[in-house]
Amino acid sequence: MPTPHQSRADRRRATEARILDSARGLFAAKGFERTTIRAVAAAASVDPALVMQYFGSKRELFTQAVQAFPAPLTTTDTDALVDQLLSSLGPKLGGLPEGTLVMMRSMLTDQAAADHVRAALGRQIDSIGAALPPSEDPELRAALVITTLLGVTIGHQLLSLASLRDAPSDRIAALLRPAIKALAGPPG
């Protein structure tokens, strides 16, 4: 049912966006391997061949669906840094962009996704490590901060652990804050 008052170019952009959305949803839910071009096409009410024509390959579709992992943060104030990190967990429910979930879902079973995540987390770790109060191993502390948040996010968003799903996210943040601060370094 073609929406009226829409130019051919508009329709094309719309179709392309619809495909990309379906892909993101499926990749986020099932990962790279288990998401099939045919399923994406069906979800977008389109022929599989069209997906190929627009995106070239399944891999290319994946990278377009992912876009970017969160950019590294920079703050010199530890408290502000912690707040910023915690807010990325989701002010309400599922606060991080779907493209990020797509990456996380596939990072344990797809080489390309793993490389991407390793690099992105590495950048975050460096940037946080530099912002932490002086201590013996700022980079290791930063890595532990990041992996802690990673674990909580996985349990919450990807595994849907009941205890986390049912908890208000500001409560989660409140409980997490002292732990993150403890990891970050010497009080003060």
Question: How far separated are the first and last CA of the chain, in Å rounded?
Answer: 63
Residue 154 found at the interface with DNA (CB under 7 A): no
Q: Please, what is the minimum distance in Å from the beta carbon of residue 125 to a second copy?
A: 6
Backbone torsions φ then ψ of 47, nearest 5 degrees: -80, 140
CA–CA dist 69, 178 (Å, integer): 26
Cβ–Cβ under 8 Å, residues 85 and 149: yes
CB closer to DNA, 13 vs 165: 13
Instruction: Work out which of 17, 38, 108, 109 binds DNA, going by CB under 7 A.
Output: 38
CB closer to a second copy, 36 vs 45: 36
Instruction: Work out which of 47, 77, 115, 170 binds DNA, going by CB under 7 A.
Output: 47
Roughly what angle, to the nearest 10 degrees, separates helices 98-106 and 58-66? Answer: 130
Residue 118 found at the interface with DNA (CB under 7 A): no
Q: Please, what is the minimum distance in Å from the beta carbon of residue 87 to a second copy?
A: 17
Q: Please, what is the minimum distance in Å from the beta carbon of residue 154 to a second copy?
A: 7
- Give 84's DSSP letter: H
Cα torsion through 67, 154, 145, 82, rounded to 10: 70
Binding site for DNA (CB under 7 A): 2, 7-9, 11-12, 15-16, 35-39, 45-50, 52-53, 56-59
